[in-house]
Structure 1
Amino acid sequence: MKRTSTLDMASLATATALGVVMSFAATMGAAAQTEITFSYLWGGVEGEALEQIIADFNASQSNIVVKGVSSPDTTKQLASMSSTSGSFDISDNFGSNVGAWASKGILHPLDDAGIDVADFIPASIDQVTYDGKLYSIPIAVHDYQLIYNKKLLDEAGVAVPATMDELAAAIKALTKVDGSGNITQLGLGYAWMPTTMTVLGYAFGGDWNGGGKPTPTDANAIKGVNFYADNVVRPYTSAAVNKFIAGFGPYMSPEDPFHTGKIAMVIDGEWRSASLGKVEGLDWGVAQIPAASPELANSTLVEVSTLFIPTNSQHKAEAAEFLKYLVSPPVMAKFSHALGNLPARTSLLGDPIYADLPNYAAWLDALKSPNAKSFSSAPYVTEYVTDLGSAFDAVVQGTQTAEDALKGVADRSATYAQ
């Protein structure tokens, strides 16, 4: 009994000591890992796709643990970047903000991050470069086309418009008003007003950023704004349009007005190719946005979704490693496919992974158009785009003419940081 007890005691002591060693080793292993926070603007299905990529990265190595946080509030994002100690180590936004943020010193330069940008679409790199330095890396690019409801066009006997005159006629034929003057169906709506107005300005041959400077009073750009106001708003009054829009469900939800047939046509981006195909009973197509003349065919706005590291990140090296993973060809392909986005790498533009996305080629082909334009990366662009949005809204609300509203932007542009 005594011998057995002694052996048991010895075994217990050995097991206890081994447990302590293993616990210490586990603690040391955990301590060796660096946790970084990836605060991203995406949510819903897009956020779920990103979380899967985060999980894949975490499983691929043992030095870094990425914690994903969906935070669509851009005001909160900027506040964190501007503080002494930020709440995240890597995040995303759009290329149009890079110049303004880099000039404030809140973006960490990425020239030494070890990312070869030779394979990236040149225009996307131009938009994330400020004062000769790279401050962000493109994860995807975007452009805009005319999406239409085939059933509604067929019922109205309307062909897919190819000219501005045809678009104006289609809007009229596809807009329905009841006996009380209430709009029940809108011929052309918008996913986001500033984008729609900007693209229409390009389609009339305008340039919002001519010579790298704000040109809000460009005569042809103003024609695009007036086209929307003259054909969508003024025939039915701003009050009637506002009342109709007030009943819309959330964007890209089951109650989205394009999903439910309340809007017959809309100008929107390529990400809709991944979602519209899942809407039961919706037969839809995509066409080039009509242009004022043949030489302006396939005029569109190109935007860039980017990834960046804030200056106040406490884990810049680890964040850079994760950033490199996110923009590597296989991961970029997986991510952009899940979201229906256009990849930022030229080597992926013909990748068969995108073959199952309906109508995706229309947006892809637009990237090759000489009439695909983007705003510069100058520090003033963020403020300028905000002012343009306010001016566009004033026109749609009927409180100002396009000429007066955009002259006001031109006057304010004299105060922009250059």
Structure 2
Amino acid sequence: MISPGRPMGRRIAALSGAVALILAATGCGGGNGDGSGTGKVTSITALDYYTDTTEHAQWGERLTACGKTVGVTVEHTSVPGPSLVPKVLQRASSRTLPDLLMLDNPDLQQIAQTGALTPLDQYGIDFSGFAEGILSAGTYKGQVYGLAPSVSTIALIYNMDMLSEAGVAVPRTWDELKTAAAELTRPGRYGMAVDANATFEGTWQFLPFLWSNGGDEKQLNTPQAAQALQLWVDLVKSGSMSKSVLNWTQADVHDQFVAGKAAMMVNGPWRISDLNQAEKLHWGVAPIPVRQTGQALVTPLGGEVWTVPQSASKTRQEKAAQVLVCLNDSTNQLALAKRNFTAPSRSAVASRYTEQVPSMAAFVKSVEGARARTGELGVRWPKAATAIYTAIQSALTGQQTPEEALKHAQQMATSP
């Protein structure tokens, strides 16, 4: 769950051949009903990147049920994740987008910037009950353009048996984390594992350490940011964390943990299904440690938002908005969260959910204070994210000190 409920590592590789044809079929305002918006609408189109067979079927069922509720048939199509945004941008200016469009939440900014999406308040949608950070993920210039039925974030997942055997408590602060990681490290096993690779995944995993310590992507060359990066450097230098984290994906981190080669890891709830299938593995989840007691944990928010693009038919837009509301009702949010190990976006639903799925409690708690990656910089976020993972690589390889790496990162992020 990118990622991040979809993390960046879960985006499926592009299948370039049929994408244009698929979007032509779904993106031209097809279905019944005249373009003036006065005719009866009996079907609408929906587009997402859930190309995995199971995911596609699940969302197809959900869209079909919601369509039936509002009196339309939903023609549901999926395209590979990397292909979605480029094709949407191509069709945005001509208003030939589908009636209902799913976007990874960091991508909403650049699509909304084109004017291709409609503000959801014009349909009378009630935004109450959604956590502030979740609404922020679907907001552009003060208006809500997208809503996420469920979301995700990352937490500390640990091997309960290894911690018990070593007499180590679950760490809550950075000092406790360094101590625990050192005591848990053995020949053939590291105490801690993260994804520090040179992609947006590496940035995503670093953000809780940066943000919780008061660091900010608007100004990367600060003592707070340097302290966060120094923590990762210290873990690698001490041998508590493998140098291979520079190349690991979140999937690799998971594999190391399941194989018993890492006692703790930073990862997301999308790993729970596989963790549950690992024989003799007893694991727990805790919030990511903060530098010192009293600091508030701030994690990045993952998940997809559903939007209603502009079209020639107001009636079609209204029907699409009604389906969007249905996807975000309490029943669907709870069902989707249970099935996918994500967190419901409505706070009241999330509270009920943790009672029913205790393994999600730490993730749901972290979501309460989670932030959208684009919340501060909007469309400029990708440039900052690139600068951050470049700094991580430079510092962990020893090419630069954290201070030097972050000074360079600030220059990268603010260059024309």
> What TM-score do the two structures reach when normalised by structure 1?
0.75
Q: Distance in 2 between matches of 1:35 and 1:189?
A: 45
Tell whether 2:120 aligns with 1:120.
no
Distance of 1:170 and 1:237 partners within structure 2: 9
State the Cα RMSD in Å. 3.5
After TM superposition, the structure 1 = structure 2 runs for residues 227-266 of structure 1, keeping only pairs within 5 Å, are 227-231=231-235, 233-236=236-239, 241-242=243-244, 250=251, 256-266=255-265
CA distances 1:10-32 after superposition (whole Å, capped 9, x unpaired): xxxxxxxxxxxxxxxxxx99x97
> 134, 145, 161: which is aligned to 2:155?
145
Paired with 1:394 and 1:145, the residues of 2 have a C-alpha distance of: 25
Q: Offset at 1:153?
A: 2.2
In structure 1, what residue type is equivalent to 2:237? Answer: R
Q: How does 1:6-25 map to 2 (within 5 A)?
A: none
CA distance in 1, matches of 2:246, 2:256: 10
2-structure distance, mates of 1:241, 1:164? 19
2:185 & 2:354 partners in 1: Cα distance?
34
Q: In the TM superposition, what whole-angstrom CA distance separates every residue of 1:246-289 from its partner, at most 9, and x where no partner exists?
A: 6x89469xx83322222221122344445533433221011222
Provide closer, same or farther for how the CA distance between residues 215 and 313 of structure 1 changes in structure 2, counting only shifts above 3 A: farther
CA gap of 1:59–1:134, structure 2 versus 1, over 3 A, is closer
Counterpart CA distance in 2 for 1:143 and 1:332 is 16
1:169-248 matches, within 5 Å, as 169-177=179-187, 184-191=188-195, 192-203=201-212, 205-209=213-217, 214-231=218-235, 233-236=236-239, 241-242=243-244
The SS at the match of 1:407 is helix
Q: Where do 1:10-409 residues align within 5 Å? A: 33-41=42-50, 43=52, 46-58=55-67, 60=69, 63-69=72-78, 71-73=80-82, 76-84=83-91, 88-177=98-187, 184-191=188-195, 192-203=201-212, 205-209=213-217, 214-231=218-235, 233-236=236-239, 241-242=243-244, 250=251, 256-303=255-302, 305-311=304-310, 316-351=317-352, 353-368=353-368, 372-375=370-373, 376=375, 378-409=378-409
Q: Aligned in 2, Cα 1:94/1:404: closer, same or farther, shift over 3 Å?
A: farther
Structure 2 CA distance, aligned partners of 1:243 and 1:220?
22
Aligned counterparts of 2:173 and 2:334: Cα–Cα separation in 1: 34
Asked if 1 retains the 8 angstrom alpha-carbon contact of 2:70 and 2:323, the reply is no
* Cα contact 1:100–1:382 (8 A) shared by 2: no
Contact 1:89–1:313, Cα closer than 8 Å, also in 2: no
Question: 1:115: Cα distance to partner?
Answer: 1.6
2:42 and 2:161 map into 1 onto residues whose CA distance is: 55
The answer on whether the counterparts of 1:92 and 1:307 sit within 8 Å (CA) in structure 2 is yes
Deviation at 1:225, TM superposition (A): 1.2
In 1, the alpha carbon distance for the partners of 2:409 and 2:278 equals: 40
Taking a change above 3 Å as real, the CA distance of residues 111 and 373 of structure 1, as seen in their structure-2 partners, is closer
**Cα distance in 1, alignment partners of residues 289 and 205 from structure 2:** 13
Structure of higher CA gyration radius: 1
Change (3 A) 1:222 1:325: same
Identity of paired residues, percent?
A: 23
Give the partner amino acid of 2:43: T
Code of the residue aligned with 1:402 in structure 2: it is: P
Following the alignment from structure 1 to structure 2, what is the Cα–Cα distance between the partners of residues 101 and 43?
Answer: 24
Structure 1 distance, partners of 2:225, 2:207, is 8
Q: Residues of 2 paired with 1:65 and 1:415: CA distance?
A: 44
Which residue in 2 is equivalent to 1:15?
Answer: none
Long gaps (5+) in structure 2: 1-31, 34-39, 196-200
Distance 1:311 1:301 in 2: 29
Is the 8 Å Cα contact of residues 64 and 74 (structure 2) preserved in structure 1? Answer: no
Q: How many residues are aligned here?
A: 368
Task: State the secondary structure of the residue aligned to 1:217.
Answer: coil
In structure 2, the CA distance between the partners of 1:356 and 1:329, relative to structure 1 (3 Å rule), is: closer
The aligned amino acid for 2:164 is: D
CA distance in 1, matches of 2:366, 2:41: 47
CA contact (8 A) 1:81 1:311 kept: no
1:384: Cα distance to partner? 1.8
More strand by share: 1
* Contact in 1 for aligned 2:191/2:240 (Cα 8 Å): no
Counterpart-to-counterpart distance in 2, 1:296 and 1:280: 36
Q: How far does residue 129 in structure 1 lie from its aligned partner after superposition?
A: 2.1
Q: CA deviation at 1:60?
A: 4.4
CA shift at 1:151, angstroms?
A: 2.1
Paired letter, 1:222: A
Aligned counterparts of 1:220 and 1:89: Cα–Cα separation in 2: 44
Contact 1:108 1:135 in 2 (8 A): yes
**In the aligned structure 2, how far is the partner of 1:249 from the partner of 1:228?**
16
CA change 1:274–1:343 in 2 (3 A) is farther
Alpha-carbon distance in structure 2 between the residues aligned to 1:304 and 1:200: 20
Deviations 1:196-254 (A, max 9, x none): 21112234x22214xxxx121121122111111221x234599x6339966x89469xx
Measure the CA separation in 2 of the matches of 1:400 and 1:79. 35
Contiguous gaps of at least 5 residues in structure 1 = 1-27, 178-183
Amino acid at match of 1:379: V
* Cα offset, 1:149, TM superposition: 1.0
